[in-house]
Amino acid sequence: MSEPIVATPALIKRMGKPKDVFDLAANFPVGYILNPQTGKVWDWMLGR
């Protein structure tokens, strides 16, 4: 399964593009998916 990382043009205009995944996680509103068995957040698996 693959899910895109998306943002509205208005958010990018206001915040600029994130410099890296750490900037994205720290400074942008992101959603997370919880593992229903553990209650912990699934790790992001990013590729190119």
Phi, psi of 34 (to 5 degrees): -90, 140
User: Residue 20 and residue 47: Cα distance in Å, rounded?
Assistant: 13
pLDDT at 17: 92
Residue whose entry in the numeric block shows the structure tokens 């919880």 = 34
Domain boundaries, the chain: 1-48
**pLDDT reading at 22 higher than 90:** no
Residue bearing the bigger pLDDT, 41 or 1: 41
Single pTM value for the model: 0.56
Q: Mind listing the pLDDT tens digit for each residue in 2-16? A: 777 888 999 999 999
pLDDT for the residue 37: 94
